[in-house]
Amino acid sequence: MLFTSDTFIIFFAIVFVLYWFILNRNLRLQNLFLLVAGYVFYGWWDWRFLFLLIFSSANDFLLGKKIYNAKNTKVRKRWLMVSLFVNLGLLGLFKYFNFFTDSFTSLASKIGISVNWPTLHIILPVGLSFYTFQSLTYTIDIYKKKMEPTKDILIFFTFVGFFPQMVAGPIERARLFLPQFFLKRTFTYEMAKIGGRLILIGFFKKIVIADSLSILVNAVYNSPKSYTGFPTVVATIFFAFQIYCDFSGYSDIAIGTAKLLGFDLTTNFKMPYLSTSLTEFWHRWHISLSTWFRDYVYIPLGGNRTSNLKANFNIFITFVLSGFWHGANWTFIIWGAIHGFVLIVEKMLTIKGQKNENTFNKLISTLLSFIIVCFAWIFFRSNSLSDAFIIITKMFSDVNEYSNFLNMSLKFRGMGLQISDIFISLFFLCVLLTMELQYNNEKLRYALRSYRFLRWSVYYFLIISIVFSATKNPAGNFIYFQF
């Protein structure tokens, strides 16, 4: 059930009416209804995996109590290991089993050993990586004595199965999100305004921008041998914005939907491509995941409270694991390794206490950071390492074509695109940039607040763009659903 589908719109309309107009006087009934709605939403993908979600919820609810009631640290750690083993074991079985068997078989064949290990013909349950990490924050934080276990099984199950963010985040912390289920919720105009605006912006990002950019990106990356330098460069830059608009669009819709139900979710993106370094980029990109790895992997490894060599190793291994979390493919591992390596280099080059406020230097740093991020995206998007190296090779071949506009136009037509489609996509990217910059510009914010005509003109423009794009290009899956 995609957020951008007619089915979800009807589903959420029913949920909204029943939640606020029928069940609004009974908090427990509201929570029970949210749990049922979450299971309907998740079961719509594949009802068989609903049992996995229920098992995962029951497992951590019981283990949270076991950890809390343990009489000594040794027993507490033992129960935590059970939680980690079960959660990560399920993740490993469904997501990584075939990767390890295939990699081992390939390695064995290269040294002359014939191995025929079986592979599992199973599909990855949607959202498994997300709700597993969210559920783990519960048992880990109880172990760290940062929270006490909840006695309310209904609320815990609803916390794990909260449909707005269950399948692709934001990944919420149990100690911060669980308390919201105990609070009485009242519908307000401000809530409707904020939630509705976020949903509208999310639809615009996904349908108008991400799905439009995907046409060229998919054409090039699904057949990299068929294209030369310029299309591969454009496709890579377009993918950078496609994945941003796709994922941040999903997050906006999730946060907006939760807001309309009376919940506050974590902000997941803060204009990451305006970062002046990759360190800053990771404070702005997929914030709920990057902070999860910081708090539950990097810091437990020792963080930066150790030697420089060990601290650098901690950074590198954290980002390699972050890449591996995204998918069972060497392309994701390389993507994570690139980010880890660059962050280590930035750390080594940084002079403590020195800040350069020069505008020109900031622009150069922002551009350089964006180029590095785009280079890493090549591995993230490519179907295999060989495809990634083909893309990189193509970028530096036929450099003369970069100045041949007619030749470029013909190449795009060969992909089923007009050159005008490219300019339309660029126009909408400029619209998005303007919209996001207004959050940091008091004058623009004041103008939108003060002039109703201007504000509603923007809203109508977004709605018309969404309707037009939806009729032209059918909505595709969100990229992060595959993780």
* pLDDT tens-digit readout, 225-280: 888 788 889 899 999 999 999 999 999 999 999 999 999 999 999 999 999 999 99
> What angle (nearest 5°) sits at the alpha carbon of residue 257, between those of residues 253 and 261?
165
The pLDDT of residue 381: 94
Q: How far apart are CA 293 and CA 365, in angstroms?
A: 25
Instruction: Work out the percent of the chain whose per-residue pLDDT is above 70.
Output: 85
The pLDDT of residue 102: 64
pLDDT at 421 over 80: no
pLDDT at 18 over 80: yes
326 classed as catalytic = yes
Sequence length of the chain is 483
pLDDT at 74 over 80: yes
Q: How far apart are CA 302 and CA 78, in angstroms?
A: 21
pLDDT at 288 over 90: yes
3-state helix, strand, coil in the chain (%, to 5): 75, 0, 25
Confidence of residue 104 (pLDDT cuts 50, 70, 90): low
Please report the sign of the dihedral spanned by the C-alpha atoms of residue 389, residue 395, residue 397, residue 398: positive
The pLDDT of residue 479: 74
Tell me: the pLDDT tens digits for 393-403? 988 876 666 55
The pLDDT of residue 442: 63
Confirm if 319 and 290 have CB atoms less than 8 A apart: no
CA atoms within 13 A on the CB side of 96: 17
The pLDDT of residue 399: 63
Q: How far apart are CA 133 and CA 100, in angstroms?
A: 21
The pLDDT of residue 446: 66
pLDDT at 349 over 70: yes
Q: How far apart are CA 185 and CA 180, in angstroms?
A: 9
C-alpha distances out from residue 415 to 185, 208, 471, Å:
51, 19, 20
Q: How far apart are CA 199 and CA 260, in angstroms?
A: 10
Among 302-316, 434-448, 466-480, the range scoring the smallest mean pLDDT is: 434-448
pLDDT at 376 over 70: yes
* Nearest in space to 318 (alpha carbons), one of 300, 340, 334: 340
pLDDT at 164 over 80: yes
Q: How far apart are CA 288 and CA 281, in angstroms?
A: 13
Q: How far apart are CA 272 and CA 436, in angstroms?
A: 11
Q: How far apart are CA 364 and CA 276, in angstroms?
A: 8
pLDDT at 121 over 70: no
Enter the tokens of residue 230.
């310029």
Tell me: the pLDDT tens digits for 198-235? 999 999 999 999 988 888 899 899 988 888 788 889 89
* Nearest in space to 451 (alpha carbons), one of 466, 438, 463: 438
pLDDT at 303 over 90: no
The pLDDT of residue 95: 82
Among 45-49, 114-118, 198-202, 329-333, the range scoring the smallest mean pLDDT is: 114-118
Q: How far apart are CA 117 and CA 105, in angstroms?
A: 7
Among 94-103, 152-161, 184-193, the range scoring the smallest mean pLDDT is: 94-103
Question: Choosing from 121, 286, 326, 339, which is the catalytic residue?
Answer: 326
Mean pLDDT of the chain: 87
Average pLDDT of the segment spanning 69-84: 93
